[in-house]
Structure 1
C-alpha cells in the first residue's frame, strides 16, 4: 500500500511540475506574440533607442513615433532598470494606480476588454511583481520579485 501511495505522490508531483512549467510565461513563448500583434507597429526596430528618444523627445513625438521595444532586451529595460515600472504603468488597467485610470497603452492590449484583460494577465504573470513604482522607490524585495523570463 505504501508503494502505491508513494507512486501516486510521484505521479502527482510530476503532473503538477509539468503544469507549472507549461504555464510559465516567457518572452519567447508568450509575450512576443502579443507584442508583435498589438505593439510592434509603434515600437519596432525603426524607432529610436530610449536614450535617443529621450534626448530628442519633441522631434519624435511630432512625428508620432515612439521608442524601440521590439526585442527582449529592449522591453525588459522598461520593467526593471533603468526604467523600472514604465511598462507596468503604461499597460495597467487602472487597478494598480492611485487614481484608477488605465495606462496610456492599455487600450492597445487587445481589440476588446476581454482580450485586453487576458493579455494584461499574461504580462502580469511574465513580470511577476507587477509594480508601478519607479527605480529609486523600489525595494530589494520588489526587484527580486521580477521574473521576466526569456
Structure 2
C-alpha cells in the first residue's frame, strides 16, 4: 500500500504546484472578484486617490477603492498600495495576532469556501510573494524589497 501511496502523493504535489502556476486573472481571479468583491469595489467605486481623500464618505456608501480591472487590482498588490490585498484578504496565519484581514470574511459563505478562495488569490500573487509589507517601512514592518516584488506572479 505504501508503494502505491508515495507516487499518488507525489502526483498530487506536482498537480498542486501546476495549479498554482496556472492561476490567471482572466480565468480565476476575475470571476471570483466579480462574485465576491465587485459590489463594493466595482466601476462605480472611486479610484484610490479619491477614496483616500474622502474615506469616511465612501465607507458610509459601502464603497471601497475601485478594483474592477487588472490594472486597478494590481495597484493593491504591487504599487503604490503594496500588500493591501494581502493584508485585507489574509486568513490570519500570516499575522502577529492571528486575526484575518478585514475582507477575508467576504471570500465565501463558509470556512471551506473562504479558504479555497484565499488560496486562489495567494497562488495568483505567488506563494513566496504573499507579504503584508508596504512600499515604505511602517512601524516595525520593513518596506517590501525588490527581491520580494520579483516573486509576484500576477498572470493576466
TM-score, scaled relative to structure 1: 0.84
**Correspondences of 1:115-134 after superposition (within 5 Å):** 115-128=113-126, 129-134=129-134
Larger of the two Rg values belongs to structure: 1
1:81-113 superposed Cα distances (whole Å, 9 cap, x missing partner): 100000000000000111110000000001100
Unaligned residue ranges in structure 2 (runs of 5+): 1-13, 137-142
Is 2:140 the partner of 1:142? no
Q: Shift in Å at residue 55 of structure 1? A: 0.9
RMSD: 1.9
**Correspondences of 1:36-75 after superposition (within 5 Å):** 36-75=34-73
Counterpart CA distance in 2 for 1:113 and 1:21 is: 21
Unaligned residue ranges in structure 1 (runs of 5+): 1-15
Give the ranges of 4+ consecutive aligned residues of structure 1 lying more than 3 Å apart after TM superposition. 19-23
1:113: which partner in 2?
111
1:70-91 superposed Cα distances (whole Å, 9 cap, x missing partner): 1111111100010000000000
TM-score, scaled relative to structure 2: 0.81
